[in-house]
A and B are shown apart, each in its own frame.
Chain A
Amino acid sequence: MKKHLITAFLMTIATTILLGVLYPLVITVLAQVLFKDKANGQIRYRNGEAIGSRIIGQPFASSKYFHSRPSNAGNGYDAANSGGTNLAPTNQKLIDRVQSDAKGLHDENPTQSVPVDLITTSASGLDPDITPAAAEFQIPRVAHERGIQESALRELVQKHTAQRDLGLLGEARVNVLELNLALDEVAPKR
């Protein structure tokens, strides 16, 4: 028994050094050399200032921007506190929130029904994407606010729509941060 205890202790230490320290450090070095931008979170800069990560969502509330999905990470899009609502489909709190959000969106664009991703929170609270349907839904509002043609805006959205990976995997999606940054370039805020 004593022998097993000593071996257990030594094995814990030795394999912790190998698998818990050396392995992640070697991967870190390789990742930093081979994929520096990706390994550091794809930080996006504008005028030399860090303004976000390409793959982490941000809150956009004013009507001049395409809106992200509702978020339950911290106070909303808190990238140091990821998470969802965990509300059950039958929870009255969820239904109340959805009804109130849907009303606002319906008033904004009564001609289309509201894409479901615009009134539901994502799992991470940091979803960088909206569906092409959700972008399409917002085009009339943004075009009006920015004073550009809807068709020109639609083209911009299509340019920033990522199709399924390898034409098969996942879903088509629009990166909200990239789209809004492009929007600021094409049609600066009035």
Chain B
Amino acid sequence: MTLNGWLQILVFLGLIFAVTKPLGVFMTRVFARERTFLDPVLRPIERLLYRITRVDEQHEMRWTEYATTMLVFSAVSMLVLYLIQRIQGVLPFNPQHLAGVMPEHLAFNTAASFTTNTNWQAYSGETTMSYFTQMAGLAFHNFASAATGIVLAITFIRGIARRQMNTLGNFWVDFVRCCLWVLLPFCIVGALLLVSQGVVQNLKPYDTVKLVEPQQVQRVGADGKPVMDAAGKPVMDTVTTQTIAQGPVASQEIIKEWGTNGGGFFNANSAHPFENPTPLTNLVEMFSIFAIGAGLTYTLGRMTGSPRHGWAVWSAMAILFLAGVTIAYWAEAQGNPLYPTTIAQRATNLQPGGNMEGKEVRFGIANSALFATVTTDASCGAINGWHDSFTPLGGMVPLVNIMLSEVIFGGVGSGMYGILIYVVLAVFIAGLMVGRTPEYLGKKIEAYDVKMAMLVSLVFPLIILSLTGISVVKGFGTAGISNPGPHGLSQILYAFTSSAGNNGSAFGGLTVNTPWYDVATGVTTLVGRFFMIIPMLAIAGNLAKKKYVPPSLGTFPVTTPLFTLLLISVILILGALTFFPALSLGPILEHLLMQVGKTF
């Protein structure tokens, strides 16, 4: 670890702190339908959209109608994405003449994954998806799923803030305002900023260039094995050119981060020099991942009339973030103890050292560990280094972050309603300690609310652990493992944790484009998204109906460091203890065996 590394981490957190209030205030105004400086441009577009789609702006919805419209919209747009993939061969903007996405289970998996803000990718972007599919299919869902998440968080906050009301707002209005005000303007600015640094943005066919030095490569047969000549030597081919994939990358790159989607234009995601060419773009991308999640904590405080509560939640997130990045940075800086001693793995003035397998030189150790922590604290899932090649403990940090339901700033919206579930449980536990009905910001938390919160907390580990269990005892599951030993369990556990948490990052060595993994992870993303949302909306609807109870002497204050501490404890106890047995058989065991020199 270096001083510069820590400085970079603190500068990043400082930027997130700085954006929290302005963005939080802005979002409060947008969803309260108050005037903002963007109204002269955006209001006419908004009105036009309502006219085309026959939306009544003034209509207010109960939680059940809100949930129904959200589900119907998700289903329709998911179906459209499936169709676009399948017929991309006859659609425009396809200079590489890529055929329709095959097989069907891959197209289903991708449609489910992008609709749920997961962006799990069982395909390789540059060899599978046409520019049209990337723009109108995948990038569109980056907007739509992000907006859906954010408006659901706003709805939950309204549930807390409203008194004796049956309604929570209008899904269509919230959705459109979120797309136009919160997502689009930043993306236009951010995309151009990225292009100015070297992220590509074009619609041309892939470039072919002549290599400076021709390359000798082994010829590989149809069976994937090297072809041998009569003398038993491998047949070599001379490669003289390099084909360079292009595309409309910047416009997708920025919403991929701003909406915590994470689906890379290219297979290598944000490690690819065309997606993330410089340390500065790396900072812009990490900032984009956390900004809305941080801003929503201020929105929470402002909409409920308790800004200090928002900051108490922010602090809990910041502490958990720092804990994660410290472990990941430390573990990766240690390097790999199994390498020969002739290899220099210590940081010097000339190199960052550390565990560099699967990492880029321009990011080194600090920025790779930081990115991995950020992308899994939020439900982003973009990567700038392969988590599969991280050290066992370094790779456990992203895994644990997702297991904690990605509430550390979190996915846009989903992080907020995720942590509010923990807040409900925290005040409930505080209430139990003193033996009185718990209250949260003037609302009594009763049996119905706690039951729903527990439902959310239980569905998540249930689906992860049961599907991981099935995969490790069945041939169709273990066939995908590329790293044997305890790491194989980690690969499968990560796959289902990532899809249930709608993260989308992976221990990428696992072969997942198979009928079992495509269908199982696809269904898991849907369950992980919608089975969480419905009980959450039920709590919101129930809270909105309740009377306001003024705070009394016995009320547990939710603005103090004590509350922050309790919230952190609830997150760690509930989240981590559920998964500790699985973790001890995966990354922890691998770490111990690595220390005694065992390989697999």
A75 to B594, CA, bound (A): 30
Give Cα A16–Cα B283 distance, bound, in whole angstroms: 29
A-facing mask of B334-378, CB < 8 A → 1, else 0? Answer: 011011101111001011111111111111100110000000000
B31-39, B380-388, B552-560: which lies at the interface: B380-388
Nearest Cβ distance between residue A183 and chain B, in whole angstroms?
10
B343 to chain A, nearest CB (A): 5
Task: State whether the Cβ of B217 lies closer than 8 Å to any Cβ in chain A.
Answer: yes
- Given A23-B184, A27-B248, A171-B364, the answer on whether A126 and B272 have CB atoms closer than 8 Å is yes
- A153 close to B (CB within 8 Å): no
Q: Known contacts A34-B195, A53-B244, A56-B244: does B251 contact A180 (CB below 8 Å)?
A: no
Q: How many residues on the B side are at the interface (Cβ–Cβ under 8 A)? A: 133
Q: Tell me which of A12, A40, A57, A114 contacts B80 (CB under 8 A).
A: A12
Which residues on B sit within 8 Å (CB–CB) of A177?
212
| B483 contacts partner chain A, Cβ-Cβ < 8 Å | yes
Chain B residues near A43 (CB-CB < 8 A): 207, 209, 244
Q: Look across to chain B and name the residue whose beta carbon is closest to the beta carbon of A46.
A: B212
Q: Which of A35, A52, A131, A170 contacts B242, CB < 8 Å?
A: A52
Q: Say yes or no: B361 contacts A15, CB within 8 Å.
A: no
Q: Which residues of A contact B73 (CB under 8 A)?
A: 8, 11-12
Query: Closest CB-CB distance, B492 to chain A, in whole Å?
Result: 13
A164 at the interface (CB under 8 A from B): yes
Contact in complex: B207, A122 (CB < 8 Å): no
CB atoms of A127 and B383 under 8 A apart: no
CA distance A57 to B274 in the complex (A): 11
Please state if B196 and A27 are interface contacts (CB–CB under 8 Å).
no
For chain A, residues 98 to 142, give those with C-beta under 8 angstroms from any C-beta of chain B.
Answer: 98-99, 102-103, 106, 112-117, 119-134, 136
- Taking a contact as CB atoms under 8 Å apart, the answer to whether B355 and A16 are in contact is no
Is A87 within 8 A of B172, CB to CB? no
Q: Return A154 CB to nearest CB of chain B, in Å.
A: 12
B228 at the interface (CB under 8 A from A): no
Instruction: Name the distance in Å between B218's Cβ and chain A's nearest Cβ.
Output: 8
Chain A residues contacting B439 (CB-CB under 8 Å) are none
A22 to B369, CA, bound (A): 36
Give chain B residues whose Cβ lies under 8 Å from the Cβ of A10.
52-54
| Complex: A123 Cα to B508 Cα, angstroms | 11
A69-90 residues at the B interface, CB under 8 angstroms = 69, 73, 75-90
Interface residues of A in 1-51 (CB under 8 A from B): 1, 3-12, 14-16, 18-21, 23-24, 26-28, 30-32, 34-35, 38-43, 49-51
Contact B483 A91 (CB under 8 A): yes
Distance in angstroms between the alpha carbons of A104 and B367 in the assembled complex:
30
Report chain B residues within 8 Å CB of A94: 357
Residue of A nearest to B5 (CB): A171
Does B487 contact A52, Cβ atoms closer than 8 Å? Answer: no
A98 partner, pick from B140, B220, B343, beta carbons under 8 A:
B343
Chain A, residue nearest B92 (CB):
A21
Residues of A near B390 (CB, < 8 A) are: 89
> In the complex where A28-B248, A90-B392, A95-B599 touch, is A20 in contact with B136 (Cβ < 8 A)?
yes
Partner-contacting stretch, out of B186-194, B312-320, B414-422, B574-582? B186-194
B179 touching A126 by the CB < 8 A rule?
no
Counting CB contacts under 8 A, is B76 at the interface?
Answer: yes
The reply to whether B202 and A56 contact each other, CB–CB distance below 8 Å, is no
Contact with A along B120-134 (1 / 0, CB 8 A): 000010110000000
A159 to chain B, nearest CB (A): 16
Which one of B157-165, B263-271, B524-532 is at the A interface? B263-271
Q: Which residue of B lies closest to A167 (CB)?
A: B4
| Distance in Å: Cβ of B44 to nearest Cβ of chain A | 13
Instruction: Contact check, B384 vs A164: say whether CB atoms are below 8 A apart.
Output: no
- Judge whether A123 and B335 touch: CB under 8 Å: no
A55 CB–B CB distance under 8 Å: yes
Q: Which residues of A have CB within 8 Å of B425? A: none
Pairwise interchain contact A116-B143, C-beta atoms closer than 8 A: no
With a cutoff of 8 Å between Cβ atoms, the chain B residues found around residue A9 in the complex are 76
Asked if residues A165 and B598 are in contact (CB atoms below 8 Å), the reply is: no
In the assembly, what is the distance between CA of A16 and CA of B360, in Å?
Answer: 35
How far, in whole Å, are A12 and B385 apart by their CA atoms in the complex? 34
Q: Point out the residue from A18, A19, A69, A77 that lies within 8 Å of B215, measured CB to CB.
A: A77
B212→A79 contact, CB < 8 A = no
B485 at the interface (CB under 8 A from A): yes
A109 to B179, CA, bound (A): 57
In the assembled complex, A187 has its CB within 8 A of some CB on chain B: no
User: Do B345 and A59 have beta carbons less than 8 Å apart?
Assistant: no
Decide yes or no: A99 and B384 within 8 Å by CB, A31-B250, A92-B599 being known contacts.
no
Taking a contact as CB atoms under 8 Å apart, the answer to whether B361 and A130 are in contact is yes
Query: What 0/1 pattern do residues 211 to 244 of B give for CB contact below 8 A with A?
Result: 1110111101000000000000000000100111
Given A8-B73, A169-B282, check contact A123 B385 (CB 8 Å): yes
Report the Cα distance A60→B216, complex, angstroms.
Answer: 10
Q: A61-B213, A95-B599 are in contact. Are A89 and B355 (CB under 8 A)?
A: yes
In the complex, are the beta carbons of B140 and A15 less than 8 A apart? Answer: yes
CA distance A168 to B144 in the complex (A): 35
Question: In the complex the two chains form, what is the Cα distance from A80 to B127 in whole Å?
Answer: 7
Residues of chain A with a CB closer than 8 A to B344's CB: 112-116, 133
Contacts of A14 in B (CB 8 A): 49, 52-53
Find chain B residues with CB under 8 A from A34 CB: 192, 195-196
**B128-183 CB contacts (< 8 Å) to partner A:** 135-137, 139-140, 143-144, 172, 175-176, 179
* Inter-subunit contact A11/B53 (CB<8 Å): yes
- Structural contact, B198 and A38, CB atoms closer than 8 A: yes
Q: If A20-B140, A34-B195, A69-B361 touch, does A133 touch B350 (CB 8 Å cutoff)?
A: yes
**Across-interface contacts of B210 in A (CB, < 8 A):** 49-51
Partner of A78, one of B242, B246, B354: B242
Shortest B387–chain A CB gap in Å is: 9
Cα(A86)–Cα(B507), bound, Å: 7
Is the pair B282, A125 in contact by a Cβ cutoff of 8 Å? no
What are the nearest 4 A-B pairs in CB distance?
Answer: A170-B279, A86-B509, A20-B140, A123-B271
Give me 27 A-to-B residue pairs in the complex whose CB atoms sit less than 8 angstroms apart, sorted by A's number.
A4-B68, A8-B69, A11-B55, A15-B143, A19-B139, A30-B192, A39-B200, A39-B202, A50-B210, A51-B211, A52-B212, A55-B198, A58-B211, A61-B216, A69-B361, A75-B218, A80-B243, A82-B268, A86-B508, A88-B485, A113-B342, A122-B271, A123-B358, A123-B385, A171-B279, A173-B361, A181-B212
Other than the given A80-B245, A127-B273, 8 more pairs (CB < 8 A) read A7-B54, A20-B135, A24-B135, A56-B274, A79-B243, A86-B508, A123-B268, A164-B279
